[in-house]
Amino acid sequence: MEEIIEREQKTILVVDDEQPIIDILVYNLKKEGYNVIEANDGVTAVNVALEQKPDLILLDIMLPKLDGLSVCKRIKNSLNVPILMLTAKDGEIDKILGLELGADDYITKPFSVRELVARVKANLRKVEAASNYRVTTTENETEKKKENKIVVGDLELDLDKFEVKVRGEVIDLTLREFEVLKFLAGEPGQVVTRETLLEKVWGYEYYGDIRTVDVTVRRIREKIEKDTSAPQILITKRGVGYYIVSK
């Protein structure tokens, strides 16, 4: 039994230059059953991540030697690992969730440890669910895969290739952006609330920042719309949520 538990134990890399914060996170994450490794500067963080390949990374933005945004970009170039950015600046949110970095989420300081742990669990669940989906794909599904697409007007999603086309042109989206678009396109014309997207796509129920959804949707719109000031595909229902135009 002990061998099974150890094999399934997830490893989390905590990166922060403030040792008291690291100590708090290490204590609480270990209490949840995670194996935790740590780094105090950006250069060490990159080296440790590439050597030990953790299952998830908690990464502060303000770091010595190499800032967190650069660390995120370097790690994502080599590893497909969920990264949660820790930031004290709301103004950094656009950069954090941008395609050029590939961060999966952020949480602002000061943060609730309970909220942070909930976010960690949600992101790890999403990774595991995606992995299980790929593993369970069988040869019997070959015929299905040929038609495993969602087409709504000018929008086409290939669910096997994780590819999006708008008017026949391939659009470069992050996995999270793809998941948001897939969820909305699956219910064309149906308004989906921000809270629903946060729960279904990010895996957060109570914990989670609605701005995460708004920033991600804005990023998607910048890539798929001809004119973001007058969107024709991804529409905002003010005060409610978002929907894909049904054509």
Whether residue 95 is predicted with pLDDT greater than 80 in this model: the reply is no
Answer for the pair 33, 21: CB distance below 8 angstroms, yes or no. no
pTM > 0.75: no
Q: Any long-range contacts for 76-81 (C-beta under 8 Å, 24+ apart)? A: 76/101, 76/102, 76/103, 78/50, 79/49, 79/50, 79/53, 81/49, 81/53, 81/54, 81/55, 81/56, 81/57
Q: Give the pLDDT mean for 129-150.
A: 54
Extents of the domains making up the chain: 2-134, 142-244
Summarised one tens digit per residue, pLDDT across range 190-236 is 999 988 888 888 776 655 667 788 888 988 999 999 888 889 999 99
Whether residue 137 is predicted with pLDDT greater than 70 in this model: the reply is no
Check for a shared fold between 2-134 and 142-244.
Answer: no
Among 1.20.1250.20, 3.60.20.10, 3.40.50.2300, 3.30.420.10, name the CATH number for the domain at 2-134. Answer: 3.40.50.2300
Instruction: Give 149-210 as a DSSP string.
Output: EEEETTEEEETTTTEEEETTEEE---HHHHHHHHHHHTSTT--EEHHHHIIIII--SS---H
Can you name the CATH fold of 142-244? Answer: Arc Repressor Mutant, subunit A (1.10.10)
Q: Which of 12-16, 111-115, 169-173, 231-235 has the highest mean pLDDT?
A: 12-16
Whether residue 53 is predicted with pLDDT greater than 90 in this model: the reply is yes
